[in-house]
Structure 1
Amino acid sequence: MLTTIWFAVKALVGFVGGLFSASDAKPGVTTSAPVKPAAIAPVTPEIPAPAPSPEAKQGTAGASDATSLVRTMRMASQSMSPKSIVAGPGGLLLAQNMMYHHSISVFRADGALLKTIPDSVTLSDFGITGHPGVSKGAPVEAAFTPDGKSAWVSNYSMYGSGFGPEGLDSCRKGDGTDTSYAYRVNTSTLAVDAVVPVGAVPKYVAITPDASKVLVSNWCSWSLSVIDATTTKETARIDLGGKYPRGIVVSPDSRTAYVALMGSQRIVAVDLATKAVSTFAEPGNGPRHLVMSPDGKFIYVTNNTSGTVAKIDRATGAVLATVKTASEPRSMAISSDGLAIYVVNYGSASMSKIRTSDMHILQTVTTDASPIGITYEPTKKQVWVACYGGSLIVFDDSKLKG
């Protein structure tokens, strides 16, 4: 009973002000031992594209790519609670199931479940002392290396000997919240092969284009961990000067990281050589997720509290355009050609497709409740949506045109 009340309070606090990533504290669910995986059965219904949401501003009538999204699959299981879904370059996808199932679900682009990777590790096997026996994590986000041979996964909190209370979204820098770890997963063996200490309540993960560094945003430490990808050692923990860092993108030359500070209106630029931090842009309230155009000229940001998506000139930090989507836009994905971005609207059970050239919403489709993660799968031109209640929905967008 006390555990249930504690999680309910945690969820309520996370929603206050709209600045916290409320879905990190999944309402009505308590931490438990891993659940025996249930069958995940893809279905392929012929479903016409739903009518656009009346809340969304629509694009130019008759645009060739206005209604190209077609729902093709839905995977649901009691063994999933996906916080994020991330596609690699070669048709592999990872769904991170947080502390609710202590696992990572690995899929092929055709919907086949390849493996469920447990987040259990023996930290002493990786040279980490002070936590004897088996420890568990809580996978939040993932990022593939450019060659697709590895993926790095952040763990919201750790469980086991020597770990304190579970991490919280409602935290303060220096309040004693336990630090956590990032895992590296070998995509050939589908097993954890490296574990690296990072800050408290790590959220987003990004790999520099030159594959030399792994970057992790530490929500409760207000910092950015920099990991040497070769030695798998944290080489720096950079104070970002603001609360609740989350989304990260990196410049094409791998020199500058841009980090969204969700507890503010700011995106900061981090010089990865000098560790200098400066304000890059102020696009709206609660900036959460970032994606960059393939040519590196533009950065797109979801402003969770404002309910908007903004397009930013990377050279100047100027906000070029802003569009209002449905309730609580969270994560984004961008098509390989950069013509469209896709945004999940957590509070509206929907996903919006936005044309990047003019930031018009071309299509809004319904999803299951609480869509929280999204990715663009390049080998089949699919958009995968992770819904926190335990499902993945796949949309085909192979008809996308310029």
Structure 2
Amino acid sequence: MIIDASGESGLTQLLMSEVMKLQKKVQDLTARLGSKDDLVKELRVKDSLLRQHRERVQRLKEACEAGGRELQRCKDENYDLALRLARQSEERGAALMRNRDLQLEIDGLKHSLMKAEDECSVERRHTLKLKHAMEQRPSHELLWELQQEKALLQARVQELQASVQEGKPDQSSPYVQVLEEDWQQAQRDLQEQTATIFSLRKDLRQAEATRARCMEEKEMFELQCLALRKDSKMYKDRIEAILQQMEEVAIERDQAIMTREELHAQHARSLQDKDALRKQVRELSETADELQLQLFQREGQLLAAEGRLRWQQLDTSVLSSDLEDGSPRNSQELSLPQDLEEDAQLSDKGGPAIRESPEQPFVALQKERLSLTPKDAGLSGGEPPEKEKGRRRLKESFENYRRKRALRKMQHGARQGEVDWENTTGSDNTDTEGS
């Protein structure tokens, strides 16, 4: 009914309207597909960035946990070192106390030893005096001789007394008087001598007692002086030992202060190095993140370029296959009357725009087919091959009809032909650009 009522023009308009609707749908679908692809790419990039940030956060968490564990380990080590230092200081104090006690015991033993030596020297001196006195005592022979002399003197005295008693009647004789006077004088001399001897012996005893007392005092003073000298020497040695210990302690203190300053300086340097390394690691991580982001962006651009290149390759392959398929039909369709060939020659002389215009709807249809292939693959995969052949024949007949119509319109004049070509190719160009 459509063909009878409106003829070929109505069919052409109907087909053109359907094609325009399909092209609009295809454009909408391609635009939506492109927006979805862009959204998918953005989501992929965001997903990669989110994954990268998560990995970075995980690395930072692991680094923080490792730093916490290292800090705890350092704290434990510091606590252990402090405990060991406290124990060693306590042991050192106890050792110093024991050393001081032992030093005091040694000093006491030295003092008792010196006292024993002094007592021994005193006893030795007393024994030497006794030995000397025993050596100076008179011998037994001398005592025996003195006893004999004493006995002789006693015998002589007795003889004199006896003679005196016998010669009493002759007391008036001068000889007897002289003897009596001599005897009395001898008695007086003897008494004086005995008194002198007694006084001298008394003085001697007093002098000896004084001498002994002085000697004892001298010995005591010598012993005290010796003890004081030894005590002074002992205290001097002790003071020298204490001064030496103080010097050693001062040297150890200076060394400890120097080591502490060195440790503080080393710790400060290590903290500075650690901060510098952390800053460097942070900068390197930021640089790595930026480079990784650029890499992801380049990969996204590369994927988009590969997709465009793949679509262009598919377009060119489909166009080349369609051109190869349409070349024998075109050769059959070009077997037209002579006036159509002349019109074709005139159209060829018209310019490259007229030559290219019949191919534009064909390119639009090929792009339409390529744009529909991803989504309609599942639909067309289940259809029988007869329907596909019918569709292809319908499209080929429509393309041939358009070519014939364009060639016929060329006969009405160049101006009218240009207007018709603009009307026919304008929609195709817009469709191709939109697709």
Report which of the two has the higher share of strand.
1
Report which of the two has the higher share of helix.
2
Q: Same fold (TM over 0.5)?
A: no
Q: Whose relative contact order is higher, 1 or 2, with alpha carbons under 8 Å and at least 6 apart? A: 2
Q: Which has the larger radius of gyration?
A: 2
Q: TM-score range by the shorter chain?
A: under 0.3
TM-score, length basis structure 1: 0.17
